[in-house]
Amino acid sequence: MMRYNVAQLLKEQSGQSRKNTLHEDITHLDPDLHPLSALDGNIQMFRTGQGVLVLGQLHTSLELVCSYCLDEFATPIRFKLEEEFRPTLDIQTGAFLPLPPDDEVATQIDAHHELDLTEVVRQNLLLAIPQKPVCRSKCLGLCPTCGKNWNEGPCECKHDDADPRWDALRQLLKENKE
């Protein structure tokens, strides 16, 4: 659980900080994510005039599906975390604080003075995944006719890769050779 009580930090002056080491099981973070290892890294929390700024360097390993050959493969994912959390209650008086209308629930410090990194980490992790993951730099992909994975060898399909728009040029080259 990526919840941190920041009550003491909220009582301090701006600029004060706390460091934490993160080691979290993220297997149930999102159904679209298939983690192969825990989420690890270091985070630092800074008291700001508005709340708490969280900075971190995090990493894990995910199982992705190759965009070319559709094979599953493991890849390391690294990302930076930078998010400011705002309290919902004044730490001194216990009065509710007005929040900006565009303030997200995920970045609010709850009534128990705890901030929850779960949603922020989930969003940053999803953004860190490559849009077109590839299992290797020279992945050959699938045959468009039979669907065979060309990384496992050639298929029996006949492929005419010639673009018919170049036929006139091919004919000129053929005539010049004769």
Q: Would you kindly state where each structural domain of the chain is located, as residue ranges?
A: 3-139
Instruction: Flag the least confident range among 9-18, 63-72, 75-84.
Output: 9-18
Are 29 and 118 in contact by the 8 Å Cβ rule? The answer is yes
Tens of pLDDT, residue by residue over 98-131, are 777 777 888 888 888 999 999 999 999 999 999 9
Tens of pLDDT, residue by residue over 124-176, are 999 999 999 999 999 999 998 899 999 999 988 887 667 788 888 888 888 88
Region 45-50: mean pLDDT is: 92
Residue carrying structure tokens 């930090």:
9
Rounded to whole angstroms, how far apart are CA atoms 48 and 68? 46
SS3 9: helix
Rounded to whole angstroms, how far apart are CA atoms 91 and 25? 31
What's residue 70's pLDDT?
A: 95
